Amino acid sequence: MAAMRRFFVQNVERETILSGDEYSHAKNVLRLGEGDEIVLLDGSGKEYDAIIAKVSKGEMLCSVVGERPSDKECKTCVRLLIGALKGDKTELVVQKATELGVAQICVFSSRFCAAYMNENKLERLRKVAREAAKQCLRATVPSIEYCDSLEEALATCADFENKLFACEFAKSSDVDLRSLRGSCALVVGSEGGFSEEEFAVARSAGFAGVTLGKRILRAETAAIAFTSAVMFVLGEWQ
């Protein structure tokens, strides 16, 4: 079914109510009405076929008629940590990382970060992730959180099998990316990049330095390219 007709809700039951933004989108943008078929998603990784049974002010009552596991989710958990970027660049990274299949996104502030985050911006990022997830047919939306220091962000990756730190001044990588297996946490800096001290802190927290080549990439290019390369090596492009 078309990407447009997918809706995320908190909970799917036999009779599920669509309200809020998802209702407005269904009613006012897509002009859906009684009898139309839609897909409901609860973020569990399942897709539910449903039919709009009744439309009233601010709500649509949907009857669930079938369910199946989604085959669009990645098998391996990838977490992307990105320094807060200026303008709408963080949104761009969230959108692309969602399409590429990451499970978790963490935006952090670090020494040379010029951008800031607040609850509104975080909510906006969550919305971008939800829209991207619908568009690319995912059944889950990556979680998005914010850490206001690099140390705190690095500490959220303790359980990952691979901890990789894209360092613009690393001459070579500490690990061979071509043989990556298992869950991965990827760290990419903001426009201002990292300091030598920050790289040292990451290494002592168990992160391997990774080079993305001889050219200095823009932060958003680095985040998208790094995530893509890792997804490919993990076999997610098969």
Query: Quick one: 66 or 213, whose CB is closer to ligand SAH?
Result: 213
Give the residue nearest to ligand SAH (CB): 189
211 Cβ neighbours under 8 A, 6+ residues apart: 166, 167, 170, 171, 172, 173
Query: Quick one: 38 or 212, whose CB is closer to ligand SAH?
Result: 212
| Amino acid letter, 183 | S
Query: What minimum distance in Å lies between the beta carbon of 78 and ligand SAH?
Result: 16
Query: What distance in Å separates the CA atoms of residue 36 and residue 33, rounded to the nearest whole number?
Result: 6
Query: Quick one: 64 or 205, whose CB is closer to ligand SAH?
Result: 205
Query: What minimum distance in Å lies between the beta carbon of 57 and ligand SAH?
Result: 48
Query: What distance in Å separates the CA atoms of residue 4 and residue 29, rounded to the nearest whole number?
Result: 10
Query: What minimum distance in Å lies between the beta carbon of 32 and ligand SAH?
Result: 42
E strands, the chain, in order? 6-8, 15-18, 37-41, 46-56, 59-69, 78-83, 104-108, 143-147, 162-166, 184-188, 208-210
Tell me which residues touch ligand SAH (CB under 6 A).
166-168, 188-189, 192-194, 211-213, 215-217, 219, 222
Query: What minimum distance in Å lies between the beta carbon of 122 and ligand SAH?
Result: 21
Query: What distance in Å separates the CA atoms of residue 143 and residue 79, rounded to the nearest whole number?
Result: 9
Query: What minimum distance in Å lies between the beta carbon of 114 and ligand SAH?
Result: 10
| DSSP labels, 126-161 | HHHHHHHHHHTT-SS--EEEEESSHHHHHHTTTT-S
